Amino acid sequence: MTAAPTDEVRLARAYLSRVAEPYPFALAGLVAQLGPVQAAELVRTGEVSNDVASQTSARRATERAEEDLALIAQRGGRLVIPEDDEWPRWPFVALDQHGRRCGGCEPLALWVRGPHDLAEVTEKAVAIVGSRAASGYGEHVAAEFAYGLAAAGVTVVSGAAYGIDGAAHRGALGAGGLTIAVLACGADIAYPAGHQGLLGKIAREGLVVSEYPPQGTPARHRFLTRNRLIAALGMGTVVVEAGRRSGAKNTAAITLALGRQLMVVPGPVTSVSSVGCHELLRDGQAVSVSSVAEIVESVGRFGDDLATEPAEKESALGAPQGEAMRVYEALGLRCGVSDEVVSVESGVPLERVRALLPELELAGLALAVDEGWQRLEVR
């Protein structure tokens, strides 16, 4: 455990979180170089490079850090910053490596509501995303998979949208498990409005997380920026349903860019809701998952303690063949046949037939009767 960050550091990050629209690459560079307190001071006074200025000049006079921290506290929340023990360091390593291709690196801070340690609950986490315009099939599968993952101790990360996202959160909650909703607006805002009750429950039993300060409103570009956090917080992303132009395909692309496992649930080819999933499968960049066990197996990192034995597989070319099978097939079904007839019918030489019949009898597949040999059905 490291020393807890000072209030000064938290206030500086709260200020920076409101001043710059995510994701401000130049500002993040300045913070990395000088630390948040000094970076915030330079931003306030405008003594920054043109790049940083272009990201901060519009809002640099907005001094609401204390007010924002009070606002999130009122809602049972807090500002989690990289200096905190609960900062999800490992999940964000890939964001810092590949953030340029994903619309942003590690966030400057995260506004969080809920009773759990963010680092702990993201140790074993999988993102489940998909269309808002989901089918009954998609919502059913999302809820089932989320239930199974949560029951196995895996946190389900999603975006709280209608459709697949909502079904995933509900499934995880239904299992009494953990779920994280990553929002494209303030963590205190119920968006979509119809999910007010669901978001309240997640804030009580799971975590509601946002890069945007309290009262921040959702905007299209924020959903794209937010998607990188969903992809980064999961060890892999499951796309349950996605239309041809679904936002879930953006999260899928980011998942790949981050080097995380992209998983896709197949669906009926007659369903428009699965078109995006099948495109991802066909492109060969996603692995097909049809069960919770396959998701756990695919994600791999925590496979050791969670994965069950893979379902028994048989060699498709190893199906019974050969002389014994041919002899078996030539046996009488309702009455016995002579070994000579079996030989002609099966095309197996008589001496081999005579050798094989007792073997089949021992195996419970043939019965010696008065007229010859009769077949016994395989049980």
The CB-of-72 to a second copy minimum distance in angstroms stands at 20
Q: Output 133 or 224, the one with its CB closest to a second copy.
A: 224
Distance of closest approach, residue 374 Cβ to a second copy, in angstroms: 16
Residue placing its CB nearer to a second copy in the complex, 198 or 365: 365
For a second copy, which is the closer residue by CB, 197 or 310? 310
Mode of pairing for the β-strands spanning 110-113 and 207-210: antiparallel
Q: Smallest gap, in angstroms, from Cβ of residue 341 to a second copy?
A: 10
Q: How far is the CB of 191 from a second copy (least distance, A)?
A: 14
- Say how far apart CA 372 and CA 119 lie, in whole Å: 74
- CA 115 to CA 86: how far, in whole Å? 12
CB 205, min distance to a second copy, A: 27
3-state secondary structure at position 274: helix
The answer to whether 339 touches 354, Cβ cutoff 8 Å, is: yes
Q: Quick one: tokens of 124?
A: 């074993």
Angstrom CA distances, 189 to 9, 195, 213, 296, 342, stand at: 25, 10, 10, 32, 79
Nearer to a second copy, 88 or 104 (CB): 104
Residue closest to 177 by CA, chosen among 141, 202, 210: 202
Report, in Å, the least distance between residue 89 CB and a second copy.
25
Residue placing its CB nearer to a second copy in the complex, 18 or 113: 18
Nearer to a second copy, 121 or 185 (CB): 185
Write out 38-88 in H/E/C secondary structure: HHHHHHHHCCCCHHHHHHHCCCCCCCCHHHHHHHHHHCCEEEECCCCCCCC
